[in-house]
């Protein structure tokens, strides 16, 4: 029983440290990532680059800086970026399925399963515990792939989706 007490104390301190890190960072307030990324996308950074990636990176940088660039802050901040792009993905999948076209619905379902597998396989290289930066690197990988998925889904929105329905006779 003696050996259990220090473990409990460490767990409590760890959870309270994580909660404190979130509370002290105004960039981690609910809805802040969405508001900041969308404001940036509405008026993207000047110059050459990728506005969507740059806006996610801008949010991450400001958030991580407010958290003193700790590993914990970087993880929290990067997961906010992932959350933003995951919500975009969900909204786009819903919009595509709402078109009520079976080929598009089948494609969304099949590609979603393939995306999940691709994401896990691609990012699994960062799940090898070899240092504190592997967590933020794993999160960055997830964020990048969520953005890519959102872009692919964008191709299926609008008047002319990439997959054209077969001609009816």
pLDDT of residue 109: 93
Burial class of 156 by CB neighbour count within 10 A (0 to 12, 13 to 18, 19+): buried
* Domain contains 1: no
* Domain contains 90: yes
CA 157 centroid distance within chain? 21
pLDDT of residue 7: 39
Owning domain of residue 107: 17-154
CA 45/CA 51 separation, integer angstroms: 7
pLDDT of residue 101: 84
How many C-beta atoms surround the C-beta of residue 18 within 10 A?
Answer: 13
Residues of the chain with pLDDT under 50: 1-17, 20, 167
pLDDT of residue 126: 87
Question: What is the number of structural domains in the chain?
Answer: 1
Task: Return the beta strands (E) in 23-81 as ranges.
Answer: none
pLDDT of residue 157: 85
* Domain contains 52: yes
């Amino acid at each position: 029983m003696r050996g259990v007490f220090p473990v409990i104390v460490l767990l409590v301190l760890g959870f309270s440290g994580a909660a404190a890190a979130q509370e002290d960072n105004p960039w981690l307030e609910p809805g802040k990532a969405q508001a900041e990324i969308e404001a940036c996308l509405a008026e993207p950074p000047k110059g050459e680059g990728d506005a969507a990636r740059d806006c996610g990176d801008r949010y991450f940088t400001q958030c991580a800086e407010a958290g003193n660039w700790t590993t914990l802050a970087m993880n929290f901040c990067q997961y906010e970026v992932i959350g933003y792009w995951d919500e975009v993905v969900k909204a786009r999948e819903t919009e595509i399925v709402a078109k009520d076209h079976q080929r598009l619905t089948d494609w969304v379902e099949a590609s979603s399963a393939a995306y999940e597998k691709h994401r896990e396989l691609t990012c699994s290289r960062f799940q090898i515990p070899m240092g504190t930066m592997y967590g933020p690197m794993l999160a960055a990988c997830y964020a990048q792939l969520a953005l890519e998925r959102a872009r692919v889904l964008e191709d299926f929105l609008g008047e002319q989706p990439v997959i054209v329905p077969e001609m009816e006779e």
